[in-house]
Every structure is written in C-alpha cells, then in structure tokens.
Amino acid sequence: MRPFHIVEGEEFLELMKEVAPVYKVPSSTHFKKLLCDKYDVMKREWSVKISKANDLCMTIDVWTETMNEKSFLGITTHFIEQASITNLNIATRELNTNHTAEYISNVFSDILNDWRIPLTKITCTVTDNKANMVAAIRQTLGESKHLPCFAHTINLIVQSSVNIASIQALISKVRNIVKWVKNSVINSDKLRKLQIEAGVPEGSTKKFIIDIKTRWNSLYYMLEHFLDMFKLASALTLDSTDSPEMLTGQEIEAIKKIVQLLKPFEFVTKEASGQNYVTLSKIIPMVSCLISEVRKFSTSIECVIQLQSKLMAECNKRFGLIEYNTYAAFGTILDPRFKNLHFQDANACGRAIQKLKSIIEVDVSTSSEEEDVAKDDFDFCSPSVKEKKGLQKVTKCPYIYPAQYLA
C-alpha cells in the first residue's frame, strides 16, 4: 500500500544496501510494468469467467477520495460459478467531470464494452438512490433492470427521521461529550484509568465511538456505547471545568428509548450487508418485520413518539410498493423459508405468483420440445424435428428457472 517511488528513496536504498548488498533495486517504472502485466493476465482470466456466466448482476457506486478530492466509479459484477456466488470488481474509473446521468451512463457503457459484456446479459443493476445514478442505469439498461440498494434506503430513512430538533439536541449533547473525550489524550487516559479501577482488564477497556454522517448505524453505535459508559462520562465531566454539559436523567432515558427504537434498523442493515449469501429474498420479510416492530413500539417520551411517527412515514414512503418489485417478490416466493408468508398485499403476491406460473409454463413447454429434439437426433430415417420446428438444441435443465427471473 505504499507508492511506487518508495523504491527510489534514499533511505530505502540505504536499507536495502544493508539487507542485501548485492541486490540491485528495480526502478518504480519496473514495478508499474509488473502490475500492468498482472492486470492484463487477471483481466483475461476474469473475462473468460464472465463470458461463461449465463446472467450477470452489477453493483455500481460513485465515491470521492477526500485526500485528493478525486471521484471514482466502481463496478462489481456478480454471477453464479459452479453453484457458488462469485463477485469480481471489474473497474474503478476516475471521473473527470460533473456526475451527470449521461456522463455516468457513458462511462458505464464504455466499461461494459471494454469487458465485452452485452447489455442483454445483465439481469439487474443495484445502485444507491441518488437521482443521477438511477437515471444513468435507466438510460443504459432500462427501468426494469434497476434496483435501489436496500441498505442505502434504510440509511435515508433513519437519517431523515432523526432530523427532528429535539432528537438532534440530544444527539448533539452526546456527540459533544464524545468529541471532548476523544480529542484529548488526558481525558482518554482518565477514561481508561476509571475502567481499570472498576476492575476492567487492561485489554478490555472501551472507547467512545463518534458517528459518521454517511453511515447512520455509526450514530446508533455512538449512542449505544454512550449508554454503556455514561456513568464514566459523568465522572469525567464532573472532574473538569471545561467539560461540555452532561445529559440529565430524563435525557438518558430518552436516549435509551431512541436506541431501542433504532435497533431493528441496525439489525436489517447488518443482515442486508452479506456478501457470501443471497439477501434479495429477505427484503420483503425484513420490511414487514421492521414496520411491525416500529408500529408496536411504545413510549411516553414526546420526542421519541415524534421519531417513531417519522420512521413509520419514511418506511411507508420508501417501501410502500416493495411487494410490487418483481425481483424482491420472486426472490421471496421462491425462498422456501418465506414463500408468501410476509406479503401484506394480496394483489402484489397474486401478481408475482401469476408471473412465476407463466414463466414456468413457458420453460416447461420449451423443455418438452427440446426432449422431442433430443429423441429425434437418434432417428436417422426421418427428417429432423429441429428442421421442422426451427428449434435450437439447448442443454438447460427444465427444472431450473432462468437466472434473470431470480435476480
């Protein structure tokens, strides 16, 4: 993870002279060439894997490298290889102009062309909910092949919901205390000393966590850790004249209720972040359980009641039609753990089942004709059924649904 030019540094060369006096250290250009050669080899190997896959899914994201203020577009392709999920990062392309939908669409298309991936092979593409990303995929692949990221949607729901003045006031008080401790070596040492004096082993002492704006669950962890350590924080603030204002008993109780209310959102965020197992079929069940948990939550604290109401409204806004999403509905129905148990809308469930039946009927019908073709291949006395019907011989198992319908 060091820059190439480190091998030309004076101190590095002196070190190598001591370690291996007869070794001639190659130039940075040499290592760049080795890396480019390795990239070419890996690209050829990955291209073969991708070309053999029947269907592909893509995940696309744009992010900014804050140190250099450069933006990049990352693309990962997902497919089934020998009954296992395979994920390959095929591009990290620097973006040189405004992130318009047209520009992102052009860069995406250029990367697909570079890897010789036909658009017809792509089943679905997952992005965040930003308008330019959604529009870019629709321009490139069409509306039916786009799926918003579930975890990002949860992030938007919580971030929008906690944006209540009374809730923000509580969060700010916690954040100020956390910053006050973390930004001071003296306070951090005092915190660790207090825990050791309380009998906590040296290696098991805890630290405060500060939240990050782009990760809602970091806010949850900050509040959760603060509740575990607020007595220690109280002792620290009482022992200092420049400490921020400590929370009252009523405010601590409100924070406890906020953490309790947000816990289901933290659970589904973690559950939806798996890489080595399928998560699509869990979306409808998780949304159903999430809304149920928020709805039955009970409290008498006014600001938490407002938060609960806002969370319900945002969930209905973002997930109100989730059962009509073909990918999510098919995935849930075909998952033997869930089937149609978590559908709240009978029309949406019936619509999905009817679509599946029509797909199965077409697939079974096609497979029957293929069996006729296979039988006729051994009949050398009569004209080929293939010639009569104009069919192409295929080897797909008739009992496996086409991957594009399973997403």
Q: Which CATH number applies to 53-148?
A: 3.30.420
**pLDDT at site 379:** 39
- Tens of pLDDT, residue by residue, the chain (407 residues): 788 999 999 999 999 999 999 999 999 999 999 999 999 999 999 999 999 998 999 999 998 887 778 899 999 999 999 888 899 999 999 998 889 999 999 999 999 999 999 999 999 999 999 999 999 999 999 888 999 999 999 999 999 999 999 999 999 999 999 999 999 899 888 888 888 888 888 878 888 999 988 888 999 999 999 999 888 888 888 888 888 999 999 999 999 999 999 999 999 999 988 777 888 999 999 999 999 999 999 999 999 999 999 999 999 999 989 999 888 999 999 999 999 999 999 999 999 999 999 888 876 766 665 555 444 443 333 333 333 334 333 333 332 333 443 34
**Buried b / exposed e across 19-46, counting CB within 10 Å, b at 16+?**
eeeeeeeeeeeeeeeeeeeeeeeeeeeb
pLDDT for 213 equals 82
- CATH 3.30.420-classified regions of the chain: 53-148
Question: Residue 367's pLDDT is what?
Answer: 61
pTM to 2 decimal places: 0.78
In this prediction, residue 174 carries a pLDDT of 94
